[in-house]
Chain A
């Protein structure tokens, strides 16, 4: 075995080491061989034995570390990257299927202006109480004296006196500009630029407000409630009186 063959064999035996360490070792052995004129195999012994000396104590560099269950690290890395990519793709698809279809704060969205049969309109001139139970509802305000709604769910809207009940449904609702009270239990509400003062009593709910340039005076009485990113303006004419328990109140963002 000549010195070049020795270096090649040593390089192979050191393949578990990082490249920088490998290069330093091989260069140093080459340098020694050039200066001393020695035959490496005679002076250093078998390259595999020399490599063992270098690998002693190198956990990542042991021959066992190069292969796990007979499969190289490259295969494991490839499988790992593939799994991560599949998880990311699945998450993207899940988001696409379950995520909000559009930005609720966009009051000009096509979904809101379409006149499809699924929109229903109920004339409404009196004060209004909304009772929400396990719903996901987005509220808008319009100039008409009616409640215009588009709901998906097994139980339709129910009217009892001045109370409009929404139960286990997902709705987009336009409200008239009348005095309004909202009672919510285990529901998700988005208020898009409220145009009247509201009295709200929410429990175990998530309330988000899209201000859309409007200013509100917030009067919040909260118990075990997390409140984020909503500013109260003392000079605002529209008041949001909120009594909250075990809920989250925040600014709406898409």
Chain B
């Protein structure tokens, strides 16, 4: 197995939970928005993500009860957008996930400082 393939598999595994956290954060900061906007926001902060990854992820988070959704017609007309918001479960999860992620980052820093 070549190194690139191995790295990509590891990355996909590592990003799954991380992406969920990032999506929750974006939705909290924006007080709800739709898929394309989440995609562009993540890209703008240096976290490009494939459409084929984001939409199924949003759908799974919705099914898990972390998000709620509603169809909102855009003010300038066009196809209605599916807007997502944090559900009560999502609101409770987010700070816990953030804390766990921060702790992981600190642990990683400590490890790197070890001699």
Question: Which A residues are within 8 Å of any B CB, using their own CB?
Answer: 21, 24-25, 27-32, 34-36, 38, 43-45, 49-50, 53-54, 56-57
Contact = CB atoms under 8 A, between A and B. Distances in A.
Given A25-B59, A27-B71, A34 B52 contact: no
B100 interface: no
A50 B69 CA distance: 21
Contacts, number: 56
Nearest to A36: B36
Contact of A53 (B53, B63, B69): B53
Contacts of A44: 50-52, 55
A49 B52 contact: yes
B104 to A, nearest CB: 24
A53 B80 contact: no
Contacts of B63: 21
A56 B36 contact: no
A29 B34 CA distance: 12
A57 B35 contact: no
Residue of A29, A45, A49, A53 contacting most chain B CB atoms (<10 Å): A53
Contacts of A38: 51
A57 B82 contact: no
Contact of B82 (A24, A36, A53, A54): A24
Interface of A is mostly: helix
A36 B34 CA distance: 13
Contacts of A31: 34-35, 79-82
A57 B60 CA distance: 9
Given A32-B35, A43-B52, A44-B52, A54 B81 contact: no
Nearest to A54: B56
The contact size tier of chain B is: 20 to 34
B55 to A, nearest CB: 6
A68 B60 CA distance: 26
Contact of A28 (B50, B52, B78, B82): B82
Nearest to A55: B56
Contacts of B80: 27, 31
Shortest 4 CB-CB distances between A and B: which pairs? A53-B56, A31-B79, A44-B52, A34-B79
A206 B6 CA distance: 78
Interface in B41-70: 50-53, 55-56, 59-60, 63, 69
Nearest to B74: A35
Contacts of A36: 36
Contacts of B56: 50, 53-54, 56
B55 A32 contact: yes
Contacts of A53: 52-53, 56
Contacts of A34: 78-79
Contacts of A28: 35, 55, 82
Nearest to A50: B52
A238 B62 CA distance: 72
A49 B59 CA distance: 15
Contacts of A49: 52
A158 B59 CA distance: 81
Contacts of B69: 24
Contacts of A32: 35-36, 51, 55
Given A32-B51, A43-B52, A54 B79 contact: no
B76 to A, nearest CB: 10
Given A43-B51, A44-B51, A45-B52, A30 B79 contact: yes
